[in-house]
Structure 1
Amino acid sequence: MRVRPWMVLVVAVLLPGCGHVLARLPVRGLMFAFYTLLLGVITWNLTTPETSLVGRLAGGLFVYAVSVLDAYTWAARRAVPVDVSS
């Protein structure tokens, strides 16, 4: 059974990395979740406390955004087109 791309998108927005798991790319999802956390921690430690929350988590948020787009793109590519000719 194929999962609809919009369902993968919703899951990817709510839970980083899980959209890939739903699209049957679990290793890719685990890598995105790991790097989201890793870069979030790195940018948190490299910035000053005066920096905004978004600025302090910028690395993790960037990977998160790329992850959501990537999960949706893979799900859309793997979706089976519907045959309306019959």
Structure 2
Amino acid sequence: MNLILKNATYLFISNVILRLFSALTTIMVARYLGANDYGILSLALAISNIAGYFTDMGLSHHSHQVKNLGLCTPLKTWYPF
């Protein structure tokens, strides 16, 4: 139980540090670019994220389902994930 608590603490601390770093980076980029250019950057990132959902076509979730069903071994010849 002690090992689980230790690992959960490391995970929590790393998550907080990552969020703080991300917030500071966003603030610095917004101040450097200005309101108009940061808005264009945000719009481009949003469009690329939405396009990523369509290009994935649900394959990343399907690979997890196949592994969880235990069907990964017979499908390994044609399904490399």
* TM-score bin, normalised by smaller chain: 0.3 to 0.5
Larger Rg: 2
The structure that is helix-richer by fraction is 2
State TM-score, norm by structure 2. 0.35
Per chain length, whose mean CA-contact separation is higher, i.e. which structure has more relative contact order (CA < 8 Å, sep 6+)?
1
